[in-house]
Chain A
Amino acid sequence: MSNAVMQFQIISRDPQGTSQFYANLFGWKVNADNPMGYREVNTGATEGIQGGIWPAPPQSPNFVQLFISVDDIKAYSAKAESLGATVLIPCTVLPDGGSMSVLHDSQGMPFGLWQRPA
């Protein structure tokens, strides 16, 4: 399978302020009415990808990470580790049945793996 970039995630120390900023700037719709309280971003565009906003602890920098689609999250996680990545958040099954994992790549930059619900 090809490994598409599925989603952007903004990690922000002030997620509410970040939501407000992009809503005001681009008219993005942000909806947190889900069991994780996750601020899902709908850009309203048919091109590009959609994303979300997640809170960061106070000492963390603000940053963006990309989620890449895989068909076997554990296999890709192991492959990434063999290439110098480290796992930050092991495979986690989300309430919608999809799975995610967050890693640091070989340069220390965080990225996510995402697998569709079975």
Chain B
Amino acid sequence: MQFGSRLQIEFEARKTKNPRYSLRAFAASIGAEHSTVSQILRGTRPVPTGTIRAWALKLGMLPEEAAIYVAASHAATPESSRRAQQLLHWTAEALAVINEPVHFDILRMTRDPGFRPDVRWISRQTGVSIDHVNIALTRLLRLQLLEMASGEWKDVTGFQELTERKVRKLALERVRWAAAENRINLGRKSNS
């Protein structure tokens, strides 16, 4: 619970005791402007961090309680934390697609008649560790660029001729769509 919610509870409690108790009186009791408190209680502005301690003490809270509310005001909200985590995730996904040729290599190799659907073999062919091949593989499945069915791996990019540039572009498009589904905007679609 942030300090704004605590203010709301305090105000409601005072109004319950005295139905004629006004917001103006409440604001005055903590040494705040009426309009500021009104906006905070309506949720249209946050409590200024610099005022929390003084207001909390005026409300009769312990200094230790006030300190917790000040600390809580610096913590990220669940929504901002979710967004930051999602942004980190999707930009890292995009950067991996841009910088790690193993994604293209796996797709290219699936078209080769000598291809073996064995991660250890792919690791040897690409010189990339088994764990990194598996991370790339998971990404290709997630972006629906590869399918695994009945022991066969199939490139499902839909390209007749596979080039690194085409794969990168399609993969980035899929990353952007997936990010958008999570309400993360990775920039406008390029026209090139």
Which A positions have Cβ atoms within 8 angstroms of B?
15-16, 32, 35-38, 54-60, 86, 88-90, 92-95, 97
Contacts and interface: CB of A to CB of B under 8 A. Distances in A.
A105 B142 CA distance: 16
Nearest to A90: B144
Nearest to A60: B89
Contacts of A58: 92
B147 A92 contact: yes
Contacts of B150: 93, 97
A37 B96 contact: no
- The A interface, classified by DSSP as helix, strand, loop or mixed, is loop
Contacts of B92: 57-59
- The B interface, classified by DSSP as helix, strand, loop or mixed, is helix
A108 to B, nearest CB: 8
Contacts of A37: 119-120, 123, 130-131, 133-134
B131 A55 contact: yes
B151 A59 contact: no
Contacts of B151: 93, 95, 97
A92 B134 CA distance: 14
Interface in B24-55: none
Given A35-B119, A36-B119, A37-B130, A86 B142 contact: no
A92 B138 CA distance: 11
A93 B142 contact: no
B130 A32 contact: yes
A89 B142 contact: yes
Interface string B118-157: 1110010000001111110011011010011111000000
A97 B120 CA distance: 18
Contacts of B130: 32, 37
Contacts of B132: 55
B79 interface: no
A100 to B, nearest CB: 10
